[in-house]
Amino acid sequence: MKVFLTGATGFIGSAVVPELINAGHQVFGLTRSDAGAKSLLAAGAQAHRGDLDNLESLRTGAANSDAVIHTAFNHDFSKFKENCEIDRRVIETLSSALEGSGRPFIVTSGTGIVASPGRPSTEEDESVPSSVIPRGASEEAAAAAAQRGVKVSVVRLPQVHDRLKQGLITFAIAMARSKGVSAYVGGGQNRWPAAHRLDAARLYKLVLEKGITGAKYHAVAEEGIPFRQIAEAIGRGLKIPTVSLTAEQATGHFGWLAHFVAADLASSSALTRQRLGWQPKEISLMDDLDHARDFEPQPTAYAQTR
């Protein structure tokens, strides 16, 4: 298939590109820069110039494809609600070019927006409304597309990691470095799910080839890692103390990240594995954290000017 991929040069998309090409698919990826176009060509893909604000470029890309995979998202959390509504508009635009065609459309969401108090979330759980968590806009737009006859499915991501990035944990590392302590809330037994970037990329390929309309899939390799273990790994990596905070203290310490740090986000991928035969095989989150690039010595001001 000829696959139009948004976010093709991003953290997730750049791993999806070779996965699709190695499976015999053609890829043309959305990029807004010459550097991005060059990297796509080097990876064996084609470049499609445009960005998330250029709706016509999105519509054209989708119209000229056999399938669309949407992995792009602006992770500027200072404009989180605005960026979630931009994602809704992007999904609406892409799906409008696919109506009535039967061509697959894969939308990206997150396991963290699924409400399942007291147990790991599953693929059959609904996402919370965007009025509660703005990121719900992505799944709302996907559901609307399915009602219009688009063959849309959703991949929900946990904390996706390698040694360069670890999802929200990357922000927690930066915060710990600036504060001089690595913190968790209460006993720190709330859990975060995780998956390696390459395992997540393999799931996108399987959903493309085997996914069904309206289905949700969880790219979860590890169901839930206690956040205290994550905070302790950050403390070891940065060689700073690890401390417990009360909920009140966490708000001031973590800012926008406080809600996530205290949340129990455990998530299951049992149905995804059963339905698609997906079997994660890469190293664990804690293995990557033990060797994370963010823990390497920071360059001095002198070195940065060389």
Q: What is the pLDDT of residues 236-281, one digit of tens each?
A: 999 999 999 999 999 999 999 998 999 999 999 999 999 999 999 9
pLDDT at 298: 64
d(CA 274, CA 276): 6
Query: Is the pLDDT assigned to residue 48 strictly greater than 50?
Result: yes
Residue 154 β-bridge partners: 107, 216
pLDDT class for 302, splitting at 50, 70, 90? very low
- Residue 300 sits at φ, ψ, to 5 deg, of -75, 165
* Helix orientation angle between 168-179 and 247-254, rounded to the nearest 10 degrees: 90
Check whether 193 has a pLDDT greater than 70: yes
As a three-state string, the secondary structure of the chain is CEEEEECCCCCCHHHHHHHHHHCCCEEEEEECCHHHHHHHHHCCCEEEECCCCCHHHHHHHHHCCCEEEECCCCCCHHHHHHHHHHHHHHHHHHHHCCCCCCCEEEEEEEHHHECCCCCCECCCCCECCCCCCCCHHHHHHHHHHHHCCCEEEEEEECEEECCCCECHHHHHHHHHHHHCCEEEECCCCCEEEEEEHHHHHHHHHHHHHHCCCCCEEECCCEEEEEHHHHHHHHHHHHCCCEEEECHHHHHHHHHHHHHHHHCCCCECCHHHHHHHCCCCCCCCHHHHHHCCHHHCCCCCHHHHCC
Nearest Cα residue to 187 out of 215, 138, 229: 229
User: Of all residues in the chain, what percent carry a pLDDT higher than 90?
Assistant: 92
| pLDDT interval class at 77 (50, 70, 90) | confident
pLDDT at 53 over 50: yes
User: Taking the CB of residue 292, how many other CB atoms lie within 10 A of it?
Assistant: 23
Instruction: Evaluate if residue 301 carries a pLDDT over 70.
Output: no
Q: What is the mean pLDDT of residues 48-70?
A: 97
pLDDT at 287: 97
